[in-house]
Structure 1
């Protein structure tokens, strides 16, 4: 029987790559994004549904859950990035990060756990970040939102495992075109007061020329492995840089 996966944040980056990978390997895919655009995935497929979703809106999540029906795997990938000095971040921005990266993930889990529990099967894959593997400067608020999901997922894995539902974490490394690029809430320049200039300069230069980076395909493959893993493994670092950080943990 063909399985169904629902992936949030599929308009670009990791989510889009994961949707394309699962489609290419025979799965039914529900790809969600704020403004649905089936054309992003090329030729139409009867195994693909593209549905609207705003993870910060309870009504949007409820509508999605009703439209989606039963899913075998839920991938919480949608997220926002934010790099800058913590003291320069407006509280409105910090709340937006938390609402999307943390509460949005929890709300999606709440919407789909009852069905998985009743069927005594299913998997939840939460996408976090390699910032949870090692301290990362200029990313305090962003890291906090991802660390919260790490702790949440570890605890959730215990309580849902009793019902045959598995919880996994995928921890992507640094990819210049994703979390800290197109998905950033505010330009880095607006979040770096003059006092931080000397401190931030070498860090931002390292962003531009990283020694190791993560490809979108790395994360898609890690999600694939997490969705099929029966070993009880919780964490799946994705990308050469994330793997190296995980080995040092």
Structure 2
């Protein structure tokens, strides 16, 4: 029997790569986005494009119902939709904070909550929430984004214990930074004026050091592979790291002392200013 995956945010970047990989490996794919574009993927009888806005509960319910009607069941949910943003805490107004959380946190929570009854009824399922390496190695200028993703990490682990008895797995995919995606650009309009001049030298030093740091970045293909592993792995595992930069941060965070971790992070982002 062919398995079915529903993926949010498939119009570009990680979501598009994830959807294409599942298609290539013989799955039924429910590729969702706010405004479905039939030109994004090649035609396939195993592909269904659906409108889904994760900030709209009715939209979530319609997409799930349509997916079940089309393929009979949804075996895996991949919550990939998200917004990137850079800012400093002092300059970020409440409405922008809420906007980021609506998509990155509350939208993920709502989609999880909506799919659970269907998965409990069928006695199986996998829920995969795509977060970020910034939840492992916390970086400057992304406090709001990191907070929104860290909240997802917390509720996903808690939810994993709640759902295990029903045959449902809840998992995290933690991607690194992929310069080839549109992720940061999608949050661009929200970022205007959110790094004031007083922070200019610090921000420039941070961006320069991140750009020049001697490690390879993440790719869309790596995130897709990690997501497929999370969907098919029989191990009782929570986290799936994607990208060499994520693995570097994980090693630094989880295998060294806090003092060494903090010193390394300061050196990585703004050594001249943070010294």
TM-score range, shorter chain: over 0.9
Q: Does structure 1 residue 80 correspond to structure 2 residue 83?
A: yes
Deviations 1:119-150 (Å, cap 9, x if unpaired)? 11000000000000011100001000000000
Alignment of 1:137 onto 2:106: no
Question: Is 2:14 aligned against 1:14?
Answer: yes
- Structure 2 equivalent of residue 242 of structure 1: 246
1:29 is matched with 29
Secondary structure, counterpart of 2:237 in structure 1: coil
- Map of 1:99-114 to 2, 5 A cutoff? 99-114=102-117
Give the secondary structure class of the aligned counterpart of 1:39. Answer: coil
Q: Spell out, residue by residue over 1:68-106, the C-alpha distance to the aligned partner (whole angstroms, 9 max, x if none).
A: 112000000000011011111121111011000000001
- 1:151-170 equivalences in 2 (<5 Å): 151-170=154-173
Query: Partner residue of 1:231?
Result: 235
Aligned equivalent of 1:57: 56
**Secondary structure at 1:167's aligned position in 2?**
strand
* RMSD between aligned residues: 1.4
Q: TM-score, normalised by structure 2?
A: 0.87
CA contact (8 A) 1:79 1:183 kept: no
For the residue of structure 2 that corresponds to 1:35, the secondary structure is coil
Shift of 1:15: 0.3
Q: In 2, Cα distance between the equivalents of 1:109 and 1:207?
A: 33
CA contact (8 A) 1:80 1:185 kept: no
CA–CA separation in structure 2 for the residues paired with 1:147 and 1:172: 13
Write the distance in 2 (CA, Å) between the matches of 1:47 and 1:39.
16
Query: Contact 2:180–2:219 at 8 Å: present in 1 too?
Result: no
Kindly report structure 1 stretches of 4+ aligned residues shifted beyond 6 Å.
Answer: none
Question: Per-residue deviation at 1:64?
Answer: 1.0
Shift of 1:207: 4.2
- More deviation, 80-89/12-21: 80-89
Tell me the CA shift for residue 188 of structure 1.
4.6
SS at match of 1:190: coil
Secondary structure of the residue aligned to 2:236 is: coil
**What's the TM-score once normalised by structure 1's chain length?**
0.96
TM superposition shift of 1:53: 0.6
- TM-aligned CA deviation for residue 206 of structure 1: 3.2
**Aligned counterpart for 1:126 among listed residues 104, 124, 129:** 129
Rounded Cα–Cα distance in structure 2 between residues aligned with 1:138 and 1:82: 9
3-state SS, counterpart of residue 123 of structure 1 = strand
Provide the C-alpha distance between the structure 2 equivalents of 1:205 and 1:22, rounded to a whole number of angstroms: 36
Q: SS of the counterpart of 2:54? A: coil
Q: 1:187 to 1:201 in 2, by over 3 A?
A: farther
Conserved? CA contact 1:171–1:238, under 8 Å: yes
